Amino acid sequence: MVSRKHDRIHVDDTILCKLCLSELGEIYSDLGLTSDELDLLDMPRRSFTVHFPVRMDSGKIKMFVGHRVQYNDARGPSKGGLRFHPELTIDHVKDLAFLMVLKCAVVNIPFGGSKGGVVVNPKELSRNELEQVTRGYIRAIADYIGPFKDIPAPDVYTDEKIMVWILDEYERIKGMHVPAVVTGKPLELQGSRARSYSTSLGGIYVLEEALKKVDLDKKDASVAVQGFGNVGENAARILFENGYRVIAVSDSRGAILSESGLDISEVIRHKERNGTVGGFGGAENITNEELLVSNCDILIPAALSDQLNANNARDVKAKIVLELANAPTTTEADEIFSEKGIMLVPDVVANAGGVVVSYFEWSQNLNSEYWEEEKVIRRLKNVMITAFNDVYTLCIEGKCRMRRAAYQLAVKRILRAERLRGNL
Ligand code: NAD
C-alpha cells in the first residue's frame, strides 16, 4: 500500500515521498478514480527481498539484504536507481519506485518505474567488498532484471564504477553482451554523451519555457542557485555560459552574492582550490537562508529537500522557483507561492533530464548506436519542452498548482496504458 501511510523519515528523500504521496489522495479524488483504478495504483507489481553471501576481506562470509521493487510497467520496462544505504527499507523502496513511475510518465518516456538497493553503509566497505556486494546483489536478482524487464541506474551512493560491475556481472551470467541492462555507464562501455550534466540542462530547457509564460527575458533575469554539487554547479555553469546573471550560489559550507553577477567559471576554480564557494573575491558572503530570499528573479534549489517552507516562503522574491533538487519545497510553501503568483516548476518535471538521457542511453544500446552530443541535447530539449508545456496546459485548464497538474497527467497516462492492455 503506497499511498496511505507516509511517516517514515530516515533518509533525505523520504520527504520527497511524503510530499508527493500525500498529494496523491486528493489527486485521485480530483480525477474521480474508480476503486479498480485505485487498487491497481496502490500495489507494486513485483516487490522482493534477497539475502546473499559476500566473502569479506577478513575471509569471513557475511549475509547482505537487498530489495527491488518494480512498481508498474504498463508503459514500458521498469526503470529505477540502485542505492546503497544502511537504513534502506522495502517500504521506502516502494515509495521511490512509485515516484519513478510518475516521473517517467510525466516526461512521457516509455518506461515504468522501479527502485532497489542494498542495506549497507558503503563507507564501511573496502573497494573489493563493494564490488563483491554489487556482484552478489546482481547474481541474486539477475532473473528479474534485463533490458526489457527492469533497468537499474545510479542513485544514492552508487556511481559509474558500480554500474560497470552490474554490467559485467549480468553479462557473465547471460554469456553475452547486454549493454542496455543498466544505464549510467562510462562512455567507453556504451554510456551516453551529455549524461553528466543532463539533469541541469534539462532543467534549464524547462526554465526557458517558464520564462516565456511569466514574460521575463533571460537578459534581464537574475538567478540564485542553492547547492554546488553535480546538479547545482552544472546549472550555474550552463546559465552563466548562456548569458544569465547568476547573482548567488552556495554549498554546505557557504554562500556568496554579487548583484552584478558572478563569473561562474572563476567560482568553480575557487571551489576547486578552497573546497567551498565561500570567500570568493568580489562577492559578499551570505548565509544559505539569505540566498533563498535574495532579490533574484529565478531561484533554483539544487541541494536538499525541505529548504523552502512555511518559515521562509513569504519572503521569497523570485518569480520562478525551479526545483532541481528533489522535494526542496514543502506543501505549505508550494501553496504560499501559488498565492503570491510565484511559478513553481516541480521536481518531477524540472529534474527529469537525467532519466530522459538514461532512456537515450538504453535506446542507443539497443540499436548499437552512439549519438553525437548534439543529438542527445536536441532530443533532451524536445522532451523537456514538451513535458513542461503538457503540464503547464493542464495547470491552466485545471486552475491548479503545477505539481498537482504533473501528477494528474502521470496518473492519467499510466491508467490509459493499463486500459489499453485490458487490465482495467
Ligand atoms: P551532490 O551531492 O553532488 O551536491 C549537493 C550539493 O548541495 C553540494 O554542493 C553540497 O555542498 C550542497 N549542500 C548540502 N547541504 C547544503 C545546505 N544546507 N545549503 C546549501 N547547499 C548545501 O548532489 P546532486 O547530485 O547535485 O543532487 C542535488 C539534488 O538534486 C538532490 O536533491 C538530488 O536528489 C537531486 N537530483 C539529482 C539528480 C542527479 O542527476 N544528480 C537527478 C535528480 C535529482
Range with the poorest average pLDDT among 1-15, 128-142, 291-305, 395-409? 1-15
79 is in an annotated binding site: yes
Pocket (CB within 6 angstroms of ligand 1): 199, 226-232, 250-252, 288, 302-304, 324-326, 351, 354
**What are the sequence ranges of the domains in the chain?**
46-181, 197-350
pLDDT at 6 over 60: no
According to the model, what pLDDT value does residue 7 have? 31
Number of H helices, E strands in the chain: 14, 12
CATH code of the region 46-181 = 3.40.50.10860
According to the model, what pLDDT value does residue 1 have? 31
Same CATH topology for 46-181 and 197-350: the answer is yes
pLDDT at 2 over 60: no
Atom 16 of ligand 1, nearest CA residue: 252
| 295 Cβ neighbours under 8 A, 6+ residues apart | 222, 247, 259, 317
pLDDT, tens digit, 9 for 90 and up, residues 140-178: 999 999 999 999 999 989 999 999 999 999 999 999 999
> Mean pLDDT over residues 394-409, rounded?
95
Task: Give the β-pairing of 320-322 and 343-345.
Answer: parallel
pLDDT, tens digit, 9 for 90 and up, residues 59-71: 999 999 999 999 9
pLDDT, tens digit, 9 for 90 and up, residues 302-334: 999 889 999 999 999 999 999 999 889 999 999
Grid cell in block for residue 245: 546573471
60 is in an annotated binding site: no
pTM higher than 0.85, yes or no?
yes
- Rounded Cα gap, residues 2 and 374, in angstroms: 40
329 is in an annotated binding site: no
CATH code of the region 197-350 = 3.40.50.720
> Mean pLDDT over residues 64-87, rounded?
97
Which residue in the list 18, 94, 115, 185 is annotated as catalytic? 115
User: How remote is the CA of residue 204 from the centroid of ligand 1, in Å?
Assistant: 16
Q: What is the DSSP letter of 313?
A: G
According to the model, what pLDDT value does residue 18 have? 63
According to the model, what pLDDT value does residue 9 have? 30
Average pLDDT, the chain: 94
Q: What percent of the chain has pLDDT over 90?
A: 90
pLDDT at 294 over 50: yes
> Mean pLDDT over residues 232-244, rounded?
97
Grid cell in block for residue 346: 516541480
Q: In the structure, what pLDDT confidence band is assigned to residue 5 with cuts at 50, 70 and 90? A: very low
According to the model, what pLDDT value does residue 29 have? 87
Grid cell in block for residue 88: 534502506
pLDDT, tens digit, 9 for 90 and up, residues 16-33: 666 666 778 888 888 999
